[in-house]
Amino acid sequence: MNVQYVTVVFSTEKGARTLEECLEQLLCNLDLEKIEKKDA
């Protein structure tokens, strides 16, 4: 599931971002989701 999401992000963002930047953004998004779940 996570691998598929990374692949989709990289495919759609390819050319605008590097894979490293996509992974960094993905990690940031996951951190935000965890915080939101704790608050909810």
3-state secondary structure of 14: strand
Residue spans of the domains in the chain: they are 2-39
Q: What integer pLDDT is reported at residue 32 of this predicted model?
A: 75
Residues 1-40 have pLDDT tens digits of 566 666 666 565 555 557 777 778 888 888 877 777 777 6
| Interaxial angle between packed helices 2-13 and 19-39, expressed in degrees from 0 to 180 and rounded to the nearest 10 | 130
Residue 40: what pLDDT?
61
